[in-house]
Amino acid sequence: MFDPSSPFLETADPLAPAQKTSFAEERLKLAVQTCELLPGSVATEAQIADRFGIGRAGVRVALARLSAVGLVHPIRRAGWKVLPVTGALIGDIISARRQVEPSLGNACPDPAAIARMNALAEMIEVLEGQSDPASIVTRRGYEREMLDILMDAEGNRLIANFLSGLWDHSDRILRFLDTSHLPPFVAGNARALAEAAAQRDSTAIVALRMAEVDAFREYSVTGLMRNRTELGVTADVDNASENNGQQWPDGGKTTGTDPATGSGTMSNKGAT
């Protein structure tokens, strides 16, 4: 008789190809979302593999998967381009969030989820107003966890996957726009959201989420107006040629400015 708990069964190799591919995807996704790979920059698979210490096969699969969710796209004979931050992209994200996030009003969190949301709201309140990078990253992580809890309580996995992608794109945009000229973006009232979820007040949940989307829009508009990066006007392949002559693709980057003054490259091209 087969015994799944038998100690004589072979255990999964932690370095098996599937695990390696998963690690590569998560590492490169994090690099894109945190603008470690700058928006608009172009890199070859070899450059990415060398920089992050990942095998070429894992990089190839990871980039293909990131392309499927719109974070990068291939350029023939040149490499892979990180999705640029554009006004059109920001507008699309805002429009989609306004249509989809009202579904969070249907969330029915259990007592454990509500308790966790209240705990997160308390930690967010402690960190609010602190401008050091570590505090900002931690606060945003707590805010995202609150949204994930609410999303899970909504129950629709299709909507959940879509919302997760929208929030990932929003986080990347905020990181791109964060400069010394703007104070850190402050998300909506976490305590009010936790209370609305506890009371299953659909109207209040939707109102709070729409208020945050409006705040995100205003912050994005202000950031775009203050960012000095020029709109991309050169062809993708020309940009790629410039990048591939540099030690690191996002260090040379396409036409743009330094991350400290206006990170990455804005372009009038979206992902294909």
Distances (CA, A) of 207 to 49, 70, 164, 187, 188: 44, 29, 19, 13, 10
Residue 118 and residue 27 share a domain: no
Whole-number Å distance between alpha carbons of 161 and 168: 11
Per-residue pLDDT of 176-192, as tens digits, reads 887 657 788 887 899 99
pLDDT number for residue 111 = 96
Q: Are residues 97 and 144 in the same domain?
A: yes
156, 108: one domain: yes
Q: How many domains does the chain have?
A: 2
* pLDDT of res. 19: 56
Residue 12 lies in a domain: no
Same domain, 188 and 201: yes
Are 95 and 202 in the same domain?
yes
My answer on whether 79 and 93 are in the same domain is no
Q: Which residues of the chain have pLDDT under 70?
A: 1-21, 179-180, 227-272
Cα 57–chain centre separation: 24
Residues 104 and 203 reside in one and the same domain: yes
Tell whether 186 is covered by a domain.
Answer: yes
pTM for the complete prediction? 0.73
**Residues 63 and 185 placed together within one structural domain of the fold:** no
Regarding whether 152 and 196 lie in a shared domain, the answer is yes
pLDDT at 183: 82
Tell me if 75 sits within 8 A of 42, measured CB to CB.
Answer: yes
| In a domain? residue 2 | no
Residue 4 inside a domain? The answer is no
How far apart (Å, rounded) are the C-alpha atoms in residues 240 and 223? Answer: 26
CATH code assigned at 31:
1.10.10.10
**pLDDT score, position 149:** 96
Domain containing 50 equals 17-84+232-262
Residue 141 and residue 200 in one domain = yes
Shared domain check, 176 and 58: no
What CATH code is carried by the domain that includes residue 174?
Answer: 1.20.120
Instruction: Give yes or no: residues 101 and 208 share one domain.
Output: yes
pLDDT in tens, 22-39: 888 999 998 998 888 988
